[in-house]
Structure 1
Amino acid sequence: MWGGHFQEGPAPLMEAINASIPFDRRLWREDLEGSAAHARMLAARGVIAKSDLDAILAGLERIARKIEAGEFEFTTALEDIHLNVEARLTEDIGEPGRRLHTARSRNDQVATDFKLWTRRAMARADALLKELQRVLLDLADRNVDTVMPGFTHLQAAQPVTFGHHMMAYVEMLGRDRSRFLEALARAGDCPLGAGALAGTSYPIDREVTARELGFARPMANSIDAVSDRDFALDYLSAAAIGAVHLSRLAEELVLWSTPQFGFVRMPEAFTSGSSIMPQKRNPDAAELVRGKSGRVLGHLQALLVVLKGLPLAYSKDMQEDKEGLFDAVDSYELVLRATAAMLEGITLYPERMRAAAGVGYTNATDLADWLVREGGVPFRDAHGIAARCVKVAEERGCALEELPLDALQAVDPRIDQRIFAVLGVENSVASRTSEGGTAPLRVREAIVAARVRFL
């Protein structure tokens, strides 16, 4: 493949470190599509003959059928997917196969193939995120009135509803989707036709090939076209943030499914037992969702390190861009599907959640707010009064709403009988009517709005 400049073949170790075909064979479909588009453009511009084009297209179709059938023999001696395809094509159709690489380098070829593949992964991520949003919205819709404790510092803070809690993840996934869609738009420029780095002297039409391959336009600078891997970083960055979001949800599922919380029961199909403890139901799928986020984060860091010291334009280091991205895509798509499936099969225990919502004096803020509204007390003063009431309740070993009125009035005489109407957990939840709040009325509105925005 290298012509007459080399007198010897590569050493076995060189072949081992240099070959990318064990992993970049995943680009076969994009490679064939790019080659077909390039060949059609060359024929339209008179660079190759129509007979050559016909032979090339027929040969590429036969290769596609063989790969799909598992009958194509990939070899590390030919390094990568591009040389494997070109060699088989030339073996099949002869001289026309040698003309395919006219006005093209492997540098712009691999950049195009890899960008096409990554664009499709971005679109798949958006579709999977949308499906997970649907699952979360349905779960929220069924649990608009299901009361649970809301936490800060993993300490009971204020009562919320489970529906409201799920809607937080709907919003997070919405931002994830926007990052993938923005990345897809940024990856809309086609590298094909940039050559090795300087363009080509052939009268090619880059607009034609860009449009045929689904890009918006050709890349404006040939050096940038072959050296850019921002699209891979964009995917990894969006996936890393998205994986963190899924990991946080998975951590909550792990906590909530413990006997100590007892809020949820994970579907049996996504749990495992213990080799020694017969009572165990381990939330393995949720733990693996949490764990695989580390792989995605690691692949982002790895590619950043690979690229950080590279001069323009292309260096062989850039071959290290693919394995990490491929694994990150596989991992991220898997955890998206697993999370949706777990949530669809989850069982809630509303009674446990409701009981926990009242533990820890989560209605103390309601007492302070009542003093502000009804007694005209400045909030900082009301905060202190409520804190002293909590201390009294702690000393008596009872809930705040279980304190007798005289005990509350001993702390502050402005408290009257009306306070008991706001200290109940349901009343607390219903009172949070500000936009974006946990009041069931607001949550129902948010669900309707989110279905319009996202589905």
Structure 2
Amino acid sequence: MSGVSAESLSGRIEAGPDRLLHEEILEPQFRYEVAHLLPWYVEAEKVLVLEYLRMGLVTAGEAACLRNALDDVTAEKLTADRSANMSDIVFAIEKHVLGALTEPIPAWHLDRSRNDLQACAQLLFGRAELAGTAESLTRCVRAAHALALRNLDLVMPGYTHLQPAQITTPGHYLAALSEHLIHSSRRLLDTYDDIDTCPLGAGAMTGPHLPWDRERIAELLGFARAWSHPLVAVASRTWVLQVAAECSTFGVVLGRFVTDLMAWTSDAYGFADLPDELAGISSAMPHKRNFPVLERVRARAAHLTGWYVDAALCQRATPFANSVEVSKEGGAHVADIFGTTRSVLSLMTAALGRMTFSESRMRAVCEDRYLGGTLLANRLTLVADVPSRAAQVISGSYIASAVKTGRPPGEPDPDLLVDMAARRGYPLRQSQAAAVLGDALSPSLEHRRGHVGSPHPQAVRRIIEEQSAAMDRLEEQWRQRRTTVRGARHAVDDLFQAETGQGGH
């Protein structure tokens, strides 16, 4: 045992933390909280000073002294000390403030718990990170839209089951990507609003003894509401699971889009390219240009699912009360989740901003493959009254025969279509067959001009316009949330000014 005294903080134990606990657990946790949570601890402490002032437990002068001491708290001035603060950030802040006072203030830290303070600092951090992640999503959406609008008219093969399936365009595909990004931003906004509930003032589990005004505390911290039940406020870290789940879901779907981009930028496809600045090389094969940036995006997106599982397992089967297992170990990767999500989005935004598509390579595949079988079958029904299932069989038979004889899609054969239809008991006139074939098997999108959601440039432009309007609305909603938080900080400064004669620093 270390023999370090802890009597200055608690009479219950006589020794501070063992050196092993300090090195393996407490000091790393201290560094993490100083790096990510310190401003939020200080913000919460200031609001609690205003509550002491409201309850008449400190004077205006004492409140001003406490506020000045809290403003002096910086990362450089806090150290994980086994003897002085038990390597705990809350104790370290307390010790720093007490050391800055010229006279003791007996009521400061009266009726207080680290449980709700820690829960509040973590949630304030999470809420701010959510808003920052939303900004990254917005930038990625805008990049996807810009790339889509530059490539509305380029035809390319769309794939199902890894086989060429239908004619599409890069613009149409990228509009699907931006739809996912917008959905993710909307889901994160819903999550933000759902978790925008303040735990501060809840105490340890059954509520404090003093008449803390928890709704006022919530308002001063920019929360929409306070937790009505104190146990839920300090025991629950459901918000961590909610955020991790949304980021995990986002990452899973984004990884599927990146898989396509990885294929398209490969030499086997040659549909898309990135500049040298976003490329890599092989040390042994000088003929290669690799795109590890896309591999990084897909791999980092996978971490998001791993961290969701990590958070869920740390909470699973634990008692519903405050515990370090849930509150600290269970949130050990929250900063990683947000940081990685934003990293993935930044890398994706850069790739989309610099990506180009090869019109010749994409068109060549479209002209070489039979991608209009569905349209051919539809026309057999609409023009020649062939029942739809039979039309599918005739269309497939025509294509199979044409492929076998080496006839390209751009050279329709009405006689062959008449023969395939006749074999199945559906006589066609030669003029009917010619009308049915038309441009059905060519890489044209004109027949999709008026179809909502189709890859026709006009339809895709409408989709992007609708998405852009939806993104504008989401941006405004996020701006309102950030404005509320900034307004709360100003309100705290104004209250200190009004009550103590000292404003912000």
Structure 1 segments of 4 or more deviating over 4 A? 94-99
Which residue does 2:440 correspond to in 1? 423
Is 1:116 paired with 2:124? Answer: yes
Shift, 1:397, TM fit: 1.9
Is 1:276 paired with 2:270? Answer: no
Shift, 1:208, TM fit: 1.4
Structure 1 segment 243-322 matched on structure 2, within 5 A: 243-318=251-326, 319-322=328-331
What is the identity, as a one-letter code, of the residue corresponding to 2:185? Answer: R
How far apart, CA to CA, are the structure 2 residues paired with 1:382 and 1:76? 80
Contact 1:371 1:377 in 2 (8 A): yes
Structure 1 segment 11-160 matched on structure 2, within 5 A: 11-19=18-26, 20-25=29-34, 26-63=36-73, 66-67=74-75, 71-75=76-80, 77=82, 78-93=86-101, 96=104, 99-160=107-168
How far apart, CA to CA, are the structure 1 residues paired with 2:90 and 2:384? 78
What is the identity, as a one-letter code, of the residue corresponding to 2:10? Answer: G
Shift, 1:97, TM fit: 6.8
Shift, 1:367, TM fit: 0.8
Contact 2:69 2:97 in 1 (8 A): yes
Is 1:356 paired with 2:365? Answer: yes
Which residue does 2:459 correspond to in 1? 442
Cα distance per residue 1:99-145 (max 9 Å; x no partner)? 44223211000110001110111111111111111111111112111
Q: With structure 2 as the length reference, what TM-score do the two structures score?
A: 0.85
Shift, 1:323, TM fit: 2.3
Is 1:453 paired with 2:470? Answer: yes
Shift, 1:238, TM fit: 1.0
How far apart, CA to CA, are the structure 2 residues paired with 1:378 and 1:133? 43
Q: Alpha carbon RMSD of aligned pairs, Å? A: 1.8
Shift, 1:95, TM fit: 5.5
How far apart, CA to CA, are the structure 1 residues paired with 2:346 and 2:106? 44
Shift, 1:430, TM fit: 3.9
Structure 2 unaligned blocks of 5 or more: 1-7, 422-426, 473-505
Size of the alignment, in residue pairs? 450
Residues 75 and 426 (structure 1 numbering): CA distance in 2 closer, same or farther, change over 3 Å? same
Cα distance per residue 1:187-218 (max 9 Å; x no partner)? 11100000011111112111111111110111
How far apart, CA to CA, are the structure 1 residues paired with 2:278 and 2:115? 44
Residues 14 and 128 (structure 1 numbering): CA distance in 2 closer, same or farther, change over 3 Å? same
Contact 1:21 1:80 in 2 (8 A): yes
Cα distance per residue 1:83-107 (max 9 Å; x no partner)? 2222222222266577442232110
Contact 1:389 1:400 in 2 (8 A): no
Contact 1:75 1:84 in 2 (8 A): yes
Structure 1 segment 339-378 matched on structure 2, within 5 A: 339-378=348-387
Contact 2:373 2:441 in 1 (8 A): no
The DSSP-based 3-state class of the residue aligned with 1:279 is coil
More divergent stretch after superposition (437-446 vs 380-389):
437-446
Which residue does 1:10 correspond to in 2? 17
How far apart, CA to CA, are the structure 1 residues paired with 2:292 and 2:332? 26
Residues 97 and 150 (structure 1 numbering): CA distance in 2 closer, same or farther, change over 3 Å? farther
Residues 136 and 320 (structure 1 numbering): CA distance in 2 closer, same or farther, change over 3 Å? same
Shift, 1:177, TM fit: 0.8
Shift, 1:435, TM fit: 2.3
How far apart, CA to CA, are the structure 1 residues paired with 2:269 and 2:298? 19
What is the identity, as a one-letter code, of the residue corresponding to 2:93? Answer: V
Cα distance per residue 1:215-270 (max 9 Å; x no partner)? 01110100000011111111111111111232122212211111110011112222
Cα distance per residue 1:24-52 (max 9 Å; x no partner)? 22101111101111111211121222222
How far apart, CA to CA, are the structure 2 residues paired with 1:426 and 1:359? 10
The DSSP-based 3-state class of the residue aligned with 1:400 is coil
Which residue does 2:487 correspond to in 1? none
More divergent stretch after superposition (352-361 vs 110-119):
352-361
The DSSP-based 3-state class of the residue aligned with 1:150 is strand
Is 1:408 paired with 2:425? Answer: no
